[in-house]
Amino acid sequence: MKRRDCLLALAGLAAAPWTAALATAPATLHVFGVPPAPERVRRVFAAGAPAAVLVHALAPDALLGWPWPLSAAARGLLAPAARGLPMLGRLAGRGSTLPLEKLVALKPDLIVDAGTVDAAYLSTAERVWRQTGIPYVLVDGRLADSARQLRETGRLLGVMARGEQLARYADTTLLACGPGAARPPRVYLARAADGLETPLPGSVNGECIEAACAVNVAREPGGGLARVSREQLLAWSPDAIVTQYPEFHALARQDAVWRRLPAVRDGRLFLAPSLPFGWLDGPPGINRLIGVRWLASRLHDAAPSSDWIERARDFHALFYGHVPTREELTRLPGLA
Amino acid sequence: MILAGHSAALRVAALSAPVFAALLAAFAFGPYPLSPAETLAALWAGPSAVNDAATVVWQLRLPRIGAGFLVGAALAAAGAAYQGMFRNPLVSPDILGVSAGAGLGAALAIYFGLPLAAVQAIAFVGGLLAVAAVVFVAGRVRRHDPVLVLVLAGVAVGTLFSAGISLVKVLADPSVQLPSITFWLLGGLNAVAPADLWLAAPLIGAGLLPMLLLRWRVNLLSLSDEEAAALGVNVARLRGILIVSATLMTAAAVSITGIVGWIGLVVPHAARLLVGPEFSRLLPAALLLGGGFLVAADTLARSAAAIELPLGILTALVGAPVFLWLLARSGRGGA
């Protein structure tokens, strides 16, 4: 089928609801429009932060810009080319910060979004594709599916070997959790400056806990984020507390109430680095792969004293194409 | 005016009993399982004991109940004063933009990743700034009804600051800062620590004192400005004092709990239905009811589920039916 015919076929599909387009797409990818041939994908617009991290890892030269304002500290840890990319804004339906006209002016060959795939995101993707004519790929961004995301997006962007290389890192990170002799540790993931915001099981923000073969202590139905009280935490008494917020980490170590928790008292309060992209969350993308290894080691290893600066340098070299110096990494909260 | 005809002692007893019950319930219930005997023992043992029960009772429940009562009382008192002063039953403490200002301050502080104390301080300053802007603008307009100008300027400045909040929310990282901002705007007492209480209590007290001292004169503000002036009241100064007091109380309350709606609007009405519109009776009734009501709502917020239910939602859920019931009852009684 010639390219024009293919387009016509899809135009026919366009009259049908988006589910018709879905049926023809691979499981992890939902494609609207006809993506260009992989070797011709030169300019990619990432619709959200997880997608930007994904595209930046696979094909940094194709990434047109960052969808959110990346801090100077984060930029400093990236390769010079990625450091200088502009902030463009994101596409998220009503929450979009990028006007569609500007999107058209950017002339991307492809729009990539990664994250939750539900009817709202699918319909947003379909609408943007119809209005702009730019092919739109929605990648199911679950942490457990990282390897497949990397392989399939890599194929789409014409960087199959690179996708395979990164996917192998994901494969070895996300090993199945065996039945294990001991019961899995119960972990509380603390967010916000006061540490009282937490993801519930099923939330995309707390996936690193299950991936590290642990149990989220906030066993409430619902998913999403919630606020809890310190009294509830005393009642839960988690085995370990992890956070990405240095302010909270400092607060918990000196506050009398937090110090009542065995996890804090026994030194099982762990601070994860959050730069250039969070190790546990923020954004919920493949940047969490090193965080899963870090968390699993903190929770399960008898002597988790291995050099995380060196491992972080390996991860940066592999995923971000740039190796920060030991000094740069030592300055990061969580690695110091 | 269900209680207006009765003696003062009976009124105090009738209002205090449910408040006392709310305080008791607040001590008894919570996610950490403590029997009443354990709670009493921990209370008796004092704050210096080192065990979980002492921590729960002295470090968590007591400050939380104290802050809840203080904030509820402050919002209700500020609302009662404003409703009298603006001669308008739909006025709440945030009519002059204090909540929007505090919200913008907090949203900015969260956006820049500042620690908790800074979020509170900037929220407090933001609330004061918003009201200062309203008063400044209103002071420049001479040829209109000053009360109307204040309300309109308040609405405009509040809208401006709300737009600022929305802008910060759009710019915020959706997976990191946005949820924190949203939770702050919904209000909650779960982060309250004793230190917050020590900071907020003097500010709220400082705001309440002029209101208590001037409680007789506040009634005169329900007259027109000319009539009040004829009775020897410096209307502009009295209004200024009330605005400063109410703003101080509301900003201090909001900075430690986030935005808790509904109380400042409806508790004064409930109090008025019970004891009548006379401010020297209304103020203590509003203080008691506001405090008791927020403590009750917060007890629900922390015991109904393992996660916290936002206070702003609960005050509306619990408050609206109670208020409708009161309204229907007082209507039947021929008030």
Cα A168 → chain centroid: 17
Q: What residue segments make up the domains of chain B, in order of their start? A: 8-44+64-332
Question: Predicted confidence band at B332 (pLDDT cuts at 50, 70, 90)?
Answer: low
The average pLDDT across A227-244 equals: 93
B159-210 pLDDT, tens digit per residue, is: 999 999 999 998 888 778 888 899 999 888 988 888 889 999 999 999 999 9
Q: Residue B262 is inside which H or E element, if any?
A: none
Confidence (pLDDT) at B2: 63
pLDDT at A3: 45
List, for residues A8-46, the tens digit of each pLDDT value.
Answer: 444 434 444 344 344 444 468 899 999 999 889 999 999
Other CB atoms within 10 Å distance of the CB of residue B129: 20
Q: Does A234 touch chain B (CB under 8 A)?
A: yes
Q: Which residues pair with A243 in a beta bridge?
A: A190, A271
Which residues on chain A are in Cβ contact (under 8 Å) with B193?
Answer: 255, 257
pLDDT band at B70 (very low <50, low <70, confident <90, very high): very high
pLDDT for position A2: 44
Q: Which residue, among B307, B308, B314, would best test binding to A if mutated, counting the most A CBs under 10 Å from its CB?
A: B307
pLDDT, position A304: 64
How would DSSP label each residue in B214-229? THHHHGGGGS-HHHHH
Q: Phi/psi of residue B306, each to 5°? A: -70, -30
Which pLDDT does position A180 carry in this prediction? 66
Q: Which two tokens stand for residue B114?
A: 């500042």
Count CB neighbours of A118 within 10 A. 8
The pLDDT of residue A7 = 43
Candidates B31, B116, B183; nearest CB to A235 = B31
Rounded to whole angstroms, the Cα distance separating A188 from A241 reads 5
Residue B238 neighbours by CB distance under 10 Å:
18
Q: What is the pLDDT of residues B202-254, one digit of tens each?
A: 999 999 999 999 998 888 888 888 888 888 888 889 999 999 999 999 999 99
- Asked whether the beta carbons of B186 and B51 are under 8 A apart, the reply is no
Whether B333 shows a pLDDT value over 70: the answer reads: no
DSSP per position, B277-302: S-HHHHHHHHHHHHHHHHHHHHHHHH
Whether the CB of A186 is below 8 Å from some CB of chain B: the reply is no
- Segment B22-36, tens digit of pLDDT: 999 998 888 888 888
Distance from CA of A1 to the nearest CA of B (A): 42
CB within 8 Å: B191 and A196 = yes
Res A109 pLDDT > 50: yes
Indicate the residue type of A327: E
Chain segment B246-276, per-residue pLDDT in tens: 999 999 999 999 988 889 988 998 898 889 8
Distances (CA, A) of A216 to A242, A253, A297: 11, 21, 17
pLDDT value, residue A4: 44
How far apart CA B40 and CA B45 sit, in angstroms, is 8
> Do residues B83 and B89 lie in contact, with contact meaning Cβ atoms separated by under 8 Å?
yes
For chain A, list the domains and their CATH numbers.
3-173 (3.40.50.1980), 186-330 (3.40.50.1980)
Instruction: Quote ipTM for the complex.
Output: 0.78
Q: What is the mean pLDDT of chain B?
A: 88
Of the partner residues A220, A234, A284, the one whose CB lies closest to the CB of residue B56 = A234
Residue to substitute from B35, B52, B170, B175, interface A, most A β-carbons within 10 A: B175
Mean pLDDT of B286-298: 94
| Tens digit of each residue's pLDDT (9 = 90 or more) over B47-58 | 888 888 888 888
Is B8-44+64-332 assigned to CATH 1.10.3470.10? yes
Q: What is the pLDDT of residue B310?
A: 86
